[in-house]
Amino acid sequence: MKKKLILLVISIFLATWYQLSKAGEEFQLPIFTPSDLRSTLVHPSLVGKTTHEIPDFSFTNQNGETITQESVKNKIYVANFFFTSCPSICIDLAKNLKLVQDAFDVNDILILSHSVDPEIDSIERLKKYEEINDINGKNWFFLRGDINEVIKMAQLGYFAIASVDNHIDNSLIHTENIVLIDTESRIRGVYNGTSQLEMSYLISDIKKLLSND
């Protein structure tokens, strides 16, 4: 009788352990490459690729500091694209990204917001944008640089846009996409930054990455 009871306890333990292990596996975030994403997000030159690396970059933030890949080394960060005079989706992007920032300690994550209007968005203007929106600039950087480099990052780095062929010369890139990058510079998620629901998914996914570090 005692042996049967011990076997029953062991069986229950093993069954519980298996279910917990299985559940843990289900919550593993995917690692995205061009072949995993829909074609509307992938530049034609990258369609079908099964590996991906974030290109080297160098931009200036609202404090006049140079931000490079070295700045985000071993960091979880999110990236998006905006411009300060945007009257539409950028307002929602800023509001919703603030929810993300407020959910974490400043040492846990970084936010990189790339201006797609660097001619207008000077360092001073980006700093003012930070202040007007009551944003903590310790881990949220508003970046400016050569527009071609910004487009390169949007298209070939973060897959925020597939192309800009449909934009006329005097138009600006609009994208609601927010991209999650892990400590190994791999894309782990793409979210609609105008949706508070998707921001809750982003917050949850960042917590998963933090728990695995």
What is the SS3 string spanning 61-129? CCCCCEEEHHHHCCCEEEEEEECCCCCCHHHHHHHHHHHHHHCCCCCCEEEEEEECCCCCCCHHHHHHH
pLDDT level of residue 24 (50, 70, 90 thresholds): very low
pLDDT score for 144: 97
Task: Delimit the domains of the chain by residue range.
Answer: 1-30, 31-212
Mean of the per-residue pLDDT values of the chain? 84
C-alpha to C-alpha distance for 52 and 26, rounded to whole angstroms: 23
Please give the single-letter amino acid code of residue 198: E
CB atoms within 10 A of CB 33: 18
C-alpha to C-alpha distance for 120 and 144, rounded to whole angstroms: 10
C-alpha to C-alpha distance for 85 and 22, rounded to whole angstroms: 47
Q: Domain 31-212 in CATH: superfamily? A: Glutaredoxin (3.40.30.10)
- More confident call, 2 vs 54: 54
C-alpha to C-alpha distance for 57 and 152, rounded to whole angstroms: 9
Question: How is residue 187 written in tokens?
Answer: 């894309």
Quick check: 127 pLDDT over 50? yes
| Strands 177-181 and 187-192, bridge-based pairing | antiparallel
pLDDT tens-digit series, residues 128-149: 999 999 999 999 999 999 999 9
* Gyration radius (Cα) of the chain, Å: 21
